[in-house]
Amino acid sequence: MAESESESQGHSGSKRLFINHVDTYAGKAISKFLSQCMVGASLEERDEEEDAASVTSDHMPPKEGVWKVSGTLKNPEHEKPEWVHEILQVDEKIQMLEHLAECDVVVYDITEDPDQIDEASWAVSAVHAELDRFETPKMFILISTVMTWAKSKPVDPDDPEIPFTEEDYRRRKPHSNFKGHISAEKLVIKLGKTNKAKFVTYVVASGLTYGAGENIFHYLFKTAWHGEAEALQCFGNGMNILPSIHIKDLAGVIQNIADSRPKTRYLVAVDDSQSPLDEIVKCVSQNLGNGKIKYITKEDALLSKSLSQTEFDMLLVDLRMDGVYIRENMNIRWGAERGLIESIPDIIKEYKTTRKLLPMRACVLGPPASGKTSMVAALCKHYKLHHIKIKDVIDEAIEALEKSAARADGDENEDDDGKAQEDQELLDAIMESKQSNNDRIEEQYLIRFYRDKLHSMPCQNQGFILDGFPKTIDQAKELFAVDEEEEQEENGKMPVYDRATMPEFVISLDSTDDFLKQRIMNLPESVVAKTHNTEDGFNRRITEFRALNEEDATVLNYFDELEIHPEHLDITKETDPENKNLMDQLVKNMGKPRNYGPTKEEVEETERLETEQRLKKEQEERETIERMESEEVALKEQRQEEWTSRLEEVKRQEKELLENQSIPLRNYLMKHVMPTLTQGLIECCKVRPDDAIDYLAEYIFRNNPQVD
């Protein structure tokens, strides 16, 4: 072990450690690692059993004596990680300083967010300014990057392969985009020299980090995992050496510094690998993709939307680094001491587990015309799985054999190891078998094609859904049989099936023959033509299917015996032509997708479609409202016109009624009243009495016909 400036405090009790941005890649991994480490544990020798136990300690609850981790969040809306004791949400630097003063160790990572350079510089300066009021020693650790060495001149110009070590740190020259990082490094080293008893500072120049879901190399892993690209891209000639370190090994370096307080203030944290970029790309492609790589120019690489400028600069760095101090003086439980390439199986497993990229495997069985293919297609679209159809499997396998066999006649066949010739012989055997078997592929070749397909990298990465295959129990046993080497695993116990290809979900579509026949009859003639769904074809297929599923030895019984219980769906009860109810039931049972969420482009496309649908719906609603208002106005005007028309008719009828009712009265007046009245008026005019009214009244009274 390295010489320390203070005695070990062993497991005397928990200590407080602060780390910025515990929700980022590095902050998350380092804080989680340290939260499970006993204070002073790196000062003790551990045996293999303890190491093995610590490997599986990712989800162990905190114990007494471990580092009590607090920190900040880059994304304020992010939930507090369960292993973090406290999240700081402070608006003023005074509050932040008070918290930092309570911590024994302060760790600042400036590799991921350049904005943290200024905060780290302030933090180390503020803590240094308050040294007099500290009762216990404080430690400040700055996690920087080897990019501050990117433009350094070789140690020996005659031998450029000699690696840089910690002793050369004063000669380091940074990449032009990392000058802020080296300024922060110099400040941290400077402030740690004033009062070493109370305040000690360290700078860790970290290599390119990998593992735990990936960060800088994530674009490689993601592209290879999807399997959609023709080849994995390598920038430039790929000969540049990338100094790297597993993120958990970097956390082990931080743990050792916090425990032992080494005298060396500047540390280089890299693994023992001296891997060039193209070897890393090849390794990822071979173990996670199709094994192909493609060299592109740096200019073309800059156009990639999946890489930031910082990641681009790091991937093109060419540095030979040797972490002599950490290798010789620190007690690190290395997870990938030999580098990414040597540990690729474990790193890929860690990548898939961390990002929850677990393959989903299913099998949909059922009688002909039951809708297997459409349902599998919908499920594959929802879960982003591979649709395994018998025709596609045969066509792809034959095409691959033909391409491989074509190389047998070429001159450049030295490195083929005879595979092209073997494929040619297999292709000839298959074609000869088809001629003698009514142009059908023999079952042995079909099973071989299926096994190759299910073991292919895309199916192993994302998963698959088998469409109507296997059809018999014998096919199922051969398809999911294990290799001879695997049969001797676990003290001679024989695995009953291949766990890498066995479906997790088995769906059986159930229906009566009459329902299926009626469904076929309702299809348009253009759809039925040139398919197996003609009357003769359907009858033959349904007869074969029922014959294979009458006895106990059926495919469904095979899965049932393995405790992979099939889910039976009665399609005769589904009324929706899109099988929405059945799909909802299947999605509920199969759970959430286990792959990457939608890409940025897919999210934008989804948002665009949702916006279009929303605008269309709003337009339709506006048009509906306008139409209803227009109809209401028209109806109101119509009712007004009807009311006016009816009112006029009522007035006319009333007038006619009054006129009709007044006729007898007028006749009476003309016959009996008007003559007397007229004569009275004439007499009144002649006499001209003083009171004409009284005279006229007396005259009418005297000359009343009734009186007479």
Q: Which residues pair with 139 in a beta bridge?
A: 105, 200
Report which of residues 650 and 545 the model is more confident about.
Answer: 650
Domain 360-590 has CATH 3.40.50.300: yes
For the ranges 107-121, 268-282, 566-580, 591-605, the lowest mean pLDDT is seen at 591-605
Using CB atoms within 10 Å of the CB of residue 632, give its burial: 0 to 12 exposed, 13 to 18 middle, 19+ buried.
exposed
Please report the pLDDT score of residue 408 as a whole number: 64
Q: Which residues pair with 69 in a beta bridge?
A: 17
Q: How far apart are CA 15 and CA 653, in angstroms?
A: 105
Q: Check if the beta carbon of residue 298 is closer than 8 Å to that of residue 232.
A: no
Q: Given pLDDT bands bounded at 50, 70 and 90, which one contains residue 539?
A: confident
CB atoms within 10 A of CB 550: 9
pLDDT digits (tens, 9 = 90+) for 47-65: 544 444 444 344 444 566 8
Nearest of 17, 34, 203 to residue 105 by alpha carbon: 17
Please report the pLDDT score of residue 221 as a whole number: 92
* Token digits of residue 402: 């033909």
* 133 DSSP 8-state letter: G
Dihedral sign (CA 109, 114, 116, 121): positive
pLDDT of residue 361 exceeding 80: yes
Domain 16-354 has what CATH class? alpha beta
* Token digits of residue 32: 């989680």
The one-letter amino acid code at 361 reads R
Q: How far apart are CA 221 and CA 213, in angstroms?
A: 9
The one-letter amino acid code at 604 reads E
Nearest of 471, 469, 499, 511 to residue 564 by alpha carbon: 499
pLDDT digits (tens, 9 = 90+) for 450-474: 999 999 988 999 999 999 889 888 8
Q: How far apart are CA 445 and CA 466, in angstroms?
A: 17
Describe the chain by its helix, strand, coil percentages, rounded to 5: 50, 10, 35
Q: How far apart are CA 359 and CA 608, in angstroms?
A: 30
Match 């300690």 to its residue by tokens.
57
**Torsion region of 369: left, alpha or beta (phi above 0 gives left; psi -120 to 50 gives alpha):** left
Q: Given pLDDT bands bounded at 50, 70 and 90, which one contains residue 311?
A: confident
Using CB atoms within 10 Å of the CB of residue 168, give its burial: 0 to 12 exposed, 13 to 18 middle, 19+ buried.
middle
The percent of residues above 70 in pLDDT, for the chain, comes to 89
Please report the pLDDT score of residue 251 as a whole number: 93
Please enumerate in sequence order all residues whose Cβ is within 8 A of that of 253, keeping only pairs 6 or more positions apart, or say none.
204, 267, 269, 326, 330, 332
Provide the 3-class DSSP secondary structure of residue 336.
coil
pLDDT digits (tens, 9 = 90+) for 468-516: 889 888 889 999 988 765 554 544 555 578 888 999 999 998 888 888 8
Q: How far apart are CA 42 and CA 330, in angstroms?
A: 8
Q: Given pLDDT bands bounded at 50, 70 and 90, which one contains residue 660?
A: confident
User: Residue 109: which H helix or E strand, with range?
Assistant: strand 105-109
Please enumerate in sequence order all residues whose Cβ is within 8 A of that of 22, keeping only pairs 6 or more positions apart, or say none.
28, 31, 69, 71, 72, 73, 81, 84, 87
pLDDT digits (tens, 9 = 90+) for 604-654: 787 888 899 999 999 999 999 999 999 999 999 999 999 999 999 999 999
Q: Check if the beta carbon of residue 443 is closer than 8 Å to that of residue 476.
A: no
Please report the pLDDT score of residue 490 as a whole number: 47
Q: How far apart are CA 401 and CA 381, in angstroms?
A: 29
Dihedral sign (CA 83, 89, 90, 91): positive
**Torsion region of 625: left, alpha or beta (phi above 0 gives left; psi -120 to 50 gives alpha):** alpha
Considering only CA atoms, give the Rg of the chain.
45
Nearest of 31, 42, 26, 44 to residue 71 by alpha carbon: 31
Provide the 3-class DSSP secondary structure of residue 378.
helix
Q: Check if the beta carbon of residue 366 is closer than 8 Å to that of residue 510.
A: yes
* Token digits of residue 290: 């199709």
Angle at 337 (CA atoms; ends 335, 342), nearest 5 degrees: 90
When pLDDT is averaged across residues 118-133 and rounded to a whole number, the result is 90
Report which of residues 409 and 283 the model is more confident about.
Answer: 283
Q: Given pLDDT bands bounded at 50, 70 and 90, which one contains residue 553?
A: confident
Domain boundaries along the sequence of the chain: 16-354, 360-590, 600-702
Report which of residues 157 and 119 the model is more confident about.
Answer: 119
* Token digits of residue 294: 């493609």
Please report the pLDDT score of residue 495 as a whole number: 54
Q: Check if the beta carbon of residue 378 is closer than 8 Å to that of residue 311.
A: no
- Mean of the per-residue pLDDT values for the chain? 84
* Token digits of residue 245: 């370190």
- Report DSSP letters for 566-627, one per residue: PEEEEGGG--STT-HHHHHHHHHHH-S--S----HHHHHHHHHHHHHHHHHHHHHHHHHHHH
Nearest of 38, 19, 39 to residue 29 by alpha carbon: 19
Please report the pLDDT score of residue 599 as a whole number: 64
pLDDT of residue 128 exceeding 60: yes
Would you say the CATH fold of 360-590 matches that of 16-354? yes
Q: Given pLDDT bands bounded at 50, 70 and 90, which one contains residue 108?
A: very high
Q: How far apart are CA 244 and CA 208, in angstroms?
A: 4
Nearest of 121, 227, 347 to residue 596 by alpha carbon: 227
Phi, psi of 138, deg, nearest 5: -115, 150
Q: Given pLDDT bands bounded at 50, 70 and 90, which one contains residue 88?
A: confident
pLDDT of residue 414 exceeding 70: no
When pLDDT is averaged across residues 422-443 and rounded to a whole number, the result is 83
Q: Check if the beta carbon of residue 324 is closer than 8 Å to that of residue 165.
A: yes
CB atoms within 10 A of CB 343: 20
Q: What number of helices (H) and strands (E) belong to the chain?
A: 26, 16
When pLDDT is averaged across residues 140-167 and rounded to a whole number, the result is 90
Please report the pLDDT score of residue 484 as a whole number: 61
Q: Check if the beta carbon of residue 15 is closer than 8 Å to that of residue 259.
A: no
